[in-house]
């Protein structure tokens, strides 16, 4: 896919891997929607970095675990840029719990991690799919983790949620 003049949505795009991805895509001519949940200042800084280099970008707030917020974000992005060609599902959360501490892996922890890490990726993919289908092209990249393969990581629920991301990716493909 030729990236110049495409539009990309990067969830969790204001920090870390998301910021690096946003900047790299912008350097290749992609207009970027920098999604954030809580880190507005970081997302706006990423937008400024892109614009300072002549790129196009906006920051949009949405909690990806909330389907209505995802739908609203995608509608706003399409109103601004006319399309979405790329989705980088990068938004993710974790809880640091020793692997042997099963009691601390509460229902709330499981729900929070799965809602963001797995369901959030699905909500975003579902929301952008009609635009990609309409244009007969598109790409979705789901950022997983080695934890999803090894079963190790910051917590048991995190590792399992990342295994879910890998399964979601295969099923969507």
Task: Give the global pTM.
Answer: 0.96
How many domains is the chain partitioned into structurally?
1
Query: What domain range is 52 assigned to?
Result: 7-172
What's the distance, CA 168 to chain centroid? 14
Has residue 1 got a pLDDT over 80? no
Task: Read off the pLDDT of residues 112-146 as tens digits, 9 standing for 90 and up.
Answer: 999 999 999 999 999 999 999 999 999 999 999 99
Within a domain: residue 88?
Answer: yes
Do the domain assignments include residue 2?
no
Q: Which residue blocks in the chain are alpha helix, DSSP H? A: 16-27, 40-52, 67-81, 107-114, 120-134, 147-150, 156-172
- State residue 41's pLDDT score: 98
Find out whether 161 and 114 touch, Cβ atoms under 8 Å. Answer: yes
Q: Look at residue 2 in the predicted model and tell me its pLDDT.
A: 85
Mean per-residue pLDDT for 81-105? 97
The domain that holds 150 is classified in CATH as 3.40.50.720
Whether residue 1 lies inside any domain: the answer is no
133 in a domain, yes or no? yes
pLDDT at position 80, please?
97
Q: Which residues contact 142 (CB under 8 A, 6 or more apart)?
A: 89, 121, 125, 165, 168, 169, 172
For residues 113 and 93, what is the distance between their CA atoms, to the nearest angstrom? 6
**Positions marked active-site:** 158
Q: Is residue 151 part of a domain?
A: yes
């Amino acid at each position: 896919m030729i990236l110049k003049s495409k539009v990309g949505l990067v969830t969790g795009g204001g920090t870390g891997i998301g910021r690096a991805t946003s900047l790299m895509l912008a350097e290749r001519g992609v207009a970027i929607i920098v999604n954030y949940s809580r880190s507005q200042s970081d997302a706006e800084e990423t937008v400024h970095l892109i614009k300072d280099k002549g790129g196009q970008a906006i920051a949009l707030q949405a909690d990806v675990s909330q389907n209505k917020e995802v739908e609203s974000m995608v509608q706003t992005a399409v109103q601004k840029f006319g399309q979405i060609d790329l989705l980088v599902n990068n938004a993710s959360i974790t809880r640091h719990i020793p692997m042997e501490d099963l009691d601390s892996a509460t229902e709330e922890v499981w729900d929070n991690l799965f809602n963001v890490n797995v369901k959030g990726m699905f909500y975003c993919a579902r929301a952008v799919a009609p635009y990609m289908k309409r244009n007969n092209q598109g790409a979705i990249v789901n950022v997983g983790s080695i934890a999803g393969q090894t079963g190790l990581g910051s917590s048991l629920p995190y590792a399992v949620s990342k295994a879910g991301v890998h399964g979601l990716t295969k099923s969507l493909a």
